[in-house]
Chains A and B, each alone.
Chain A
C-alpha cells in the first residue's frame, strides 16, 4: 500500500493534468463556457427555491430564513458529493481504453472524478459568498476556520466511497443504475432542504448515522447559523470514520485492481 501511495505521488502531475482536462473539456464548445460553473448552482438553487417557497411553502421550518441561502449551504456540497460518486462509479469503465492500453495506476481515474467535482464546488463558492454578502450574514473567523476542515473530511469520505464504487461497478454494472436512485433517497434523508430541527426524534438516529448529514449540518452551522460552531464533536468523529472509509475503499480497490484490465 505504501508503495502504491509513493507511485501516486509520482503520478500527481498526471492527476493534476487530468483534472485540468476534465474542467477544460466540460464546458468546451458551449456558448457560456466556464460561466456554467456559476450558473449551474444558481439554476439548481432557483428550482429548489421555487419548489419550497411557491409550490410547497408550508414544508420548510421556521428558522431557515432566508431559505435560498440555507438551501445553498447544503446543496453545493451535496452536488459535489453526488456527482463525484456518479462520475467515479463510471470512471473505470469510461476510461477503459486507458486502463487497457496505457500503464498507469487505475485509482487515478476515480480520484480525478472526485477532485474535478471538488473544483466545481470551489468555483461555485464565490456565488455563495455573494449570497452571504447580499443577505449581510455576520460571519465569524473562528467559525470560518472550520470550513476547510469540513471540506477535507468531505474529500476523504468521497474518495473512500468513490474508490469502492468504481472498483465494484467494474464487476457489477448494476451499481450504476442503482446508484442514481440511491443518491436521490440519500439526498432526501439528509438535512439539506429542511433543517435538522424539523427532524422528528425517531428520525434523529438515522440522521446521526448518515455521514453526509453531519457534513451538511456543519456547513449550515458555519455559514448560515450564528456561531459558535457546536457540531465539531460529530465532525471529528466523522473525520475518523472518513479515514477508515478511505482505507477500506483503497484496500478494496487494490484487491480488485488486477481484474480491471480484463473486465472493463
Chain B
C-alpha cells in the first residue's frame, strides 16, 4: 500500500519573544539592517517533538490527545500551513484541511458568493464549484438562506456551509480537526457518513478529535500524542485505552492534590479554625449540619482523624468503577482515653445530596474504650453508585453528637461507569425478557 502522509522526526518549535526585545529589534533592525538575524527567537516552546509516522493511502487515521498536546500543530504541519523546524513532512495528493470551517467567509456577502470564494481558496475552479453548487447547498441544508449575507447565519449554519464546501473539494487527503461537533446530531451523522464515503472511495482521512468513540469505530489506526510526542500508535481500541488510562492517572493525581490541599487548608492547628466549635449547641441531631454543603473541619479535638484514605482493590485511589469494592480507612488518635465515641461516614454527590450516611452508633456498636492511635476501616462491598464525583464526610463524635473531629466534604472520589444511567444509586440488577422480545445487541457487549 502506498503512503499518503509520511512524517520523519518532525519537530516544531514556537518562538516566544520578550516584549522589551521587540522594541530593541525594530530599532536595531532599522539602524544596522540586521533584520533577519534579529528575528531569531529568544525562547522556544516545543509544540511537536520528533514525531514520525506514516499514514497509508486510503486509511482513516485518528490523532488523540489532551488539549495542548500538539495535535493541531501537527495537522497544520501536514497541511503545509506551517513549516517544521526540523524533520520532513511528505504528502502525496491534494489536501483539503478542515482546520477551521468557513475560515475565509466574508460576513457581508451572501452564502452563495462565499461558497464560490471559499471553493476557489480551497483550490477549485469556478466551473467545478458551479457544478457542485447545488450539492453543496443541499448538503449544508441551507437552500432558503443561501442568498442572505453570511453575517445573518447562526454559528451552526456557518459551520455547516464551511464543512459542505470543504468536503466537496474532492481531496485525496482530508484533514479534519475537531469539526464533528458541528451542527446537531443529524448533521454529525451526515458528516460521518460523508467520511465513510470518502473511505470507501479510497481517500485518506486524518482526524483529530476528542470523540474517542469516533476514533474507535471509524479509524483504522490511531496515534496518541502527549506534550508533542507520540505516546502510542496502532490499533485504535488499544491506543484509546492507553490514552484513557493515562487520563485516569492524571485525574487521580489531580483529585488527590485537591484533597490534600483541602485537608491542609482546614487543619485545625488552631481551634478557631472554623464556623462551628465545641460549644455549639449539640442536640444530638447532626443531620442539621449534614445538608449544609460547605466544606470544612471542626470539633473539640479530644480525638482527631489524622488521615483518611479511600482504597480500591489495588490500594489508595480516587477512581472507581461503579460496583467496585471500596474501603474508607481513617487513622484516629486521642490524647486521653475516651469511652464515648462514634465513627461516622457519609457519601455526598456533587449536588450535595446525601447518598448514604451511617455511623457506629446507628449500627449499635457500644463504645468501650479508645486510646492512642488506631485505625478504622469501613468496607463497602459494592460501590453501586452512578457515574459522578462524590465527597465524603468522616467524623468522630460523642453519642450525643458533639464532634471531636468532623471532616466536612474534604475527601473526594470519582465513580466511572460505561453505562450512562441516571439517578444516584445503581441497584445491582438484571433484565430478563420472554422469548418473543428480542434485542439486536445483547447486553454486556
Contact = CB atoms under 8 A, between A and B. Distances in A.
Interface of A: 13-14, 17-18, 21, 24-25, 28-29, 97-104, 171-172, 174, 255-256, 258-259, 261-262
Interface string B363-383: 000000000000000000000
Given A18-B117, A172-B26, A98 B83 contact: no
A29 B103 CA distance: 22
B122 A102 contact: yes
Interface of B: 14-15, 22, 25-26, 29, 36, 39, 76, 79-83, 95, 97, 99-100, 103-104, 106, 108-109, 113, 116-117, 120-122, 125-126, 149
A250 to B, nearest CB: 15
Contacts of B100: 97, 100-101
Nearest to B79: A103
Contacts of B99: 100-102
Q: Which 3 A-B pairs have the closest CB atoms?
A: A101-B103, A101-B100, A25-B108
A196 B113 CA distance: 46
Contacts of A28: 108-109, 149
Contacts of A262: 14-15, 82
Contacts of A13: 120, 125-126
A103 B83 CA distance: 12
Contacts of A255: 36
B82 A261 contact: yes
Nearest to B124: A13
Nearest to B38: A171
Interface SS majority for chain A: helix
B103 A97 contact: yes
Contact of A24 (B80, B81, B113): B113
A171 B80 CA distance: 21
A172 B35 CA distance: 11
13 contacts: A13-B125, A14-B120, A21-B117, A28-B149, A98-B104, A100-B81, A101-B103, A102-B81, A102-B97, A103-B97, A172-B22, A172-B25, A174-B26
A255 B35 CA distance: 11
B10 to A, nearest CB: 15
B117 A17 contact: yes
A101 B83 contact: no
A97 B101 CA distance: 11
Given A13-B125, A28-B109, A259-B39, A102 B104 contact: yes
B83 to A, nearest CB: 5
B117 A103 contact: no
Given A14-B120, A28-B108, A98 B82 contact: no
A102 B121 contact: yes
Nearest to A10: B123
B36 A21 contact: no
Nearest to B23: A174
Contacts of A25: 106, 108-109
B121 A14 contact: yes
A21 B121 contact: no
Given A21-B113, A101-B103, A259-B39, A29 B108 contact: yes
Contacts of A104: 121
A20 B134 CA distance: 22
A98 B121 contact: yes
A98 B103 contact: yes
A99 B83 CA distance: 13
Contact of A102 (B25, B83, B103): B103
A241 to B, nearest CB: 19
B71 to A, nearest CB: 15
Nearest to A97: B103
Given A29-B149, A97-B104, 13 more contacts: A13-B126, A21-B109, A28-B108, A97-B100, A98-B103, A100-B76, A100-B81, A102-B81, A102-B97, A102-B122, A103-B95, A258-B82, A258-B83
A174 B26 CA distance: 9
B322 to A, nearest CB: 42
Nearest to B80: A103
A261 B85 CA distance: 13
Contacts of B36: 255
A257 to B, nearest CB: 9
Contacts of B103: 97-98, 101-102
Contacts of A256: 39
Contacts of B76: 100, 261
A171 B83 CA distance: 18
A141 to B, nearest CB: 37
A59 B197 CA distance: 74
Contacts of B121: 14, 98, 102, 104
A24 B79 contact: no
Q: Which of A21, A99, A103, A104 has the most CB of B within 10 A?
A: A103
B125 A103 contact: no
A116 B177 CA distance: 33
A13 B25 CA distance: 38
A21 B121 CA distance: 13
